[in-house]
Amino acid sequence: MSIDTRKVIKNAYRVTRVRGKTALRIRVPGGHIETRFFSLIDEIASKYGDGTAHITTRQGLELPGIDFENIPEINKMIRPLIESLGLAVEVTDTGYPAAGTRNICACIGNRVCTFANDDTTTLAREIERMVYPNNLHFKIAVTGCPNDCIKAYMNDFGIICTVEPVYDQSRCISCGACVENCAKAVTGALAMKDFSVERNREICIGCGECVRKCPTGAMTRSHTKSYRMVIMGRTGRKNPRMAETFLKWADRESILAIVRNAYTFVERHIDRGLDKEHVGYIVDRTGYPTFREEVLQDVRLDEKTLVAEHIDWSGYRYTNDAGLR
């Protein structure tokens, strides 16, 4: 049968190395899925695939061994899965409407983890509804704290949930537990002075470890949520690299607005002569000042938010392989 591979790929199916076989990619935004869908996934994998499911590095599911001719029937079956995403577009029996923007990843967040500073699942799903469906190649991840279990630094946009500790001196017994732990395990942002704790806001990363270690509740989490945004991390053939910090102590609205603006930035500058162009390479080509100006357009940053004036990405270039022996 004749296959339009571009259409198949945009419909969230993979072109595999086995002739006549494809694999369905199931989106699981935030890495969180209702277990009621497991029976549906099992039915598709058993009836149309090879009876297996691969958990992808982006927390989605991939069902291999599917015949191309069964795509229309499977698309009808997965409609409840797509409807559960809560998208702002009409869901039909034609399957996933796009595949360019990858599944939004997230760690388990503060629904479960004592380290996490926010509900990462809710934030990931909010981003999913904002940016999907879209055929632009974006990778976005949300992590609940600077431990970065989701590897946010390897994404185009990594959102790290942080917290500014609130210090109540009247409850402090000057035990130094928070200061000692920050010095040993974090950045050394705390110091004891005149029996009180002082925090260096410039080197504080908002991890919340001081809150966890305080035995008297003198350190508590601020009710105001804040985020660090790191940008343009990537793997890949050309220049794999870690993301660098773009914003610190940003509010939720600003984070979401910047992600929205980034899609407009890519639409404006992408090289249409390529099958796809990674957003990081577009930033490399246009320059960080252009990116910064365009994604911050009409964004009302909180007065405490810090923005990187300059970013110099490094990463690995394979010309360095010349030194290998």
Q: Name the percent of the chain lying above pLDDT 90.
A: 91
pLDDT digits (tens, 9 = 90+) for 53-104: 999 999 999 999 999 999 999 999 999 999 999 999 999 999 999 999 999 9
Architecture per CATH, 5-83: 2-Layer Sandwich (3.30)
What pLDDT shows up at residue 214? 97
Question: Quick check: 275 pLDDT over 90?
Answer: no
Domain boundaries, the chain: 5-83, 105-162+225-321, 165-221
- H/E segment holding residue 7: helix 5-10
For residues 280-299, average pLDDT = 97
- Paired strand residues for 234: 241
pLDDT digits (tens, 9 = 90+) for 12-28: 999 999 999 999 999 99
Please, which pLDDT band fits residue 246 given cuts at 50, 70 and 90? very high
Question: Quick check: 319 pLDDT over 90?
Answer: no
**Do 165-221 and 5-83 have the same topology in CATH?**
yes
What's the Cα-to-Cα distance from 209 to each of 43, 91, 118, rounded to whole Å? 44, 43, 14
- Crossing angle for the helix pair 279-286 and 252-269, nearest 10 degrees? 80
Question: Quick check: 320 pLDDT over 90?
Answer: no
Structure token pair of residue 308: 């990187």
What pLDDT shows up at residue 3? 81
Question: Please, are residues 178 and 166 in contact by the beta-carbon 8 Å criterion?
Answer: no
pLDDT digits (tens, 9 = 90+) for 144-157: 999 999 999 999 99
| Mean of the per-residue pLDDT values of the chain | 95
pLDDT digits (tens, 9 = 90+) for 138-189: 999 999 999 999 999 999 999 999 999 999 999 999 999 999 999 999 999 9
Of 217, 130, 205, residue with least CA distance to 169: 217
Question: Quick check: 1 pLDDT over 70?
Answer: no
For residues 202-223, average pLDDT = 95
Counted residue by residue, the chain has a size of 325
Residue range 165-221 in CATH 3.40.50.720: no
- Paired strand residues for 285: none
Q: Name the percent of the chain lying above pLDDT 70.
A: 100
Q: Which residue has the tokens 């407009």?
A: 264
Question: Please, are residues 215 and 175 in contact by the beta-carbon 8 Å criterion?
Answer: yes
| 105-162+225-321, CATH topology level | Sulfite Reductase Hemoprotein; domain 1 (3.30.413)
What pLDDT shows up at residue 324? 80
What pLDDT shows up at residue 325? 75
CA-based R_g, the chain, Å: 22
What pLDDT shows up at residue 154? 97
Question: Quick check: 192 pLDDT over 90?
Answer: yes
- Paired strand residues for 197: 192
